[in-house]
A = this chain, B = another copy of it.
Amino acid sequence: MCRFLAYSGVPVWLDSLLIEPESSLISQSMAAREAKTVVNGDGCGIGWYGERGEPGIYRGILPAWSDRNLTSLCHQLRSSMFLAHVRSATTGGVSMANCHPFGFGRHLFMHNGQIGGYEKVKRAIEAYIPDEVYCSRAGNGDSEAIFLIAAGYGLDRDPVGALRKTLQECLDIVVNSGIDQPIRFSAIHADGEKLHAFRWSSDARPPTLYWRNVGQGIAIASEPFGTGAEKWEIIPANSVATIVGANITFEPFNPIAQPQARMIA
């Protein structure tokens, strides 16, 4: 299980959220409190939106705790929307190409979870990556495959729908292959304007995902960080949170069931 953090709101320095807080993501790279694997040392990455059309991406194979470039970048960068990820490899080796976040045009994506039995269905799943983005695939893990399939379903138009459809296809493949392991999916999609935080699993155990107000923005995190006094709220299972600026709304997200009506937080 990986750990991640995302932010949307008034621009803040990345280190104010990623490094300075107690139990920050960087320290979670060495000892996550709620994760199944205590070490998230298989690389790290950040993606951020600035003035340019496409987001910046920095990824490295060293553990976050010893990556000095990461520290310096987090100190220099100020952004109104950014993602950060520390990896514990499940599928896909330790390589820069397998580190999150992944980028595709204006889109960023990162994932905590996995497609159960991925090695058995890798090819069947990759078949859903459309031709025009197939060569963008640089790694060999499940998370990047999910993202590129969704890219084919239209991240520009309807990212939630694209990811729902992607996970439906993946679940069909997994189930039809006789695999009894679940798909687990806590994930962030961002495009510079909107940020979506998904928490879903095909079984009853979606990976944790929390949110709270931070100044004039909203932070989403795999597990709470800070002194313990902050008011973190868990994102309900089988839902997606949509953050625009510092406003958050929730709606159901369950690729198994039918699309449902929107709820306002």
> Which chain A residues have a beta carbon within 8 Å of chain B's beta carbons?
30-31, 38-39, 41-42, 48, 50-52, 54, 56-63, 65-66, 68-69, 72-73, 75-76, 78, 89, 93-97, 119, 122-123, 131, 134-135, 137-140
Copy total for this chain: 4
Chain B, Cβ-Cβ closest to A91 = B135
Residues in chain B near residue A131, CB distance under 8 A: 123
The residue that A63 contacts in the complex, of B41, B75, B93, with Cβ under 8 A, is B41
Q: A56-B72, A61-B62, A68-B93 are in contact. Are A38 and B41 (CB under 8 A)?
A: no
Q: Which of A56, A59, A76 has the most CB of B within 10 A?
A: A76
Given contacts A31-B38, A41-B41, A78-B51, contact A73 B56 (CB under 8 A): yes
Q: How far is the CA of A31 from the CA of B39 in the complex (A)?
A: 9
Known: A69-B69, A138-B93. A52 touches B31 (CB 8 A): no
Q: Is the CB of B60 within 8 A of A69?
A: yes
Q: Which 7 A-B pairs have the closest CB atoms?
A: A56-B76, A66-B94, A41-B41, A119-B135, A95-B95, A123-B134, A57-B72
CB distance from A51 to the nearest CB of B (A): 7
Q: Which residues of B contact A54 (CB under 8 A)?
A: 75
C-alpha spacing A62/B43, complex, angstroms: 9
Contacts of A65 in B (CB 8 A): 41
Which residues of chain B have C-beta atoms less than 8 A from A68's C-beta?
93, 96
Extra pairs beyond A52-B75, A56-B76, A66-B89 (5, CB < 8 Å): A60-B69, A66-B94, A69-B69, A95-B97, A97-B140
Known: A69-B58, A96-B95, A138-B140. Contact between A76 and B52, CB under 8 A? yes
Q: Which residues of B contact A63 (CB under 8 A)?
A: 41-42, 63
What would be 26 A-B contacts, judged by CB atoms less than 8 Å apart? A30-B41, A31-B38, A38-B39, A41-B41, A41-B63, A41-B65, A41-B66, A42-B63, A48-B76, A50-B76, A51-B78, A52-B75, A56-B73, A59-B69, A61-B62, A62-B62, A63-B63, A66-B94, A68-B96, A69-B69, A95-B96, A95-B97, A122-B135, A123-B131, A139-B140, A140-B140
Docked-complex contact B31 and A58, CB < 8 angstroms: no
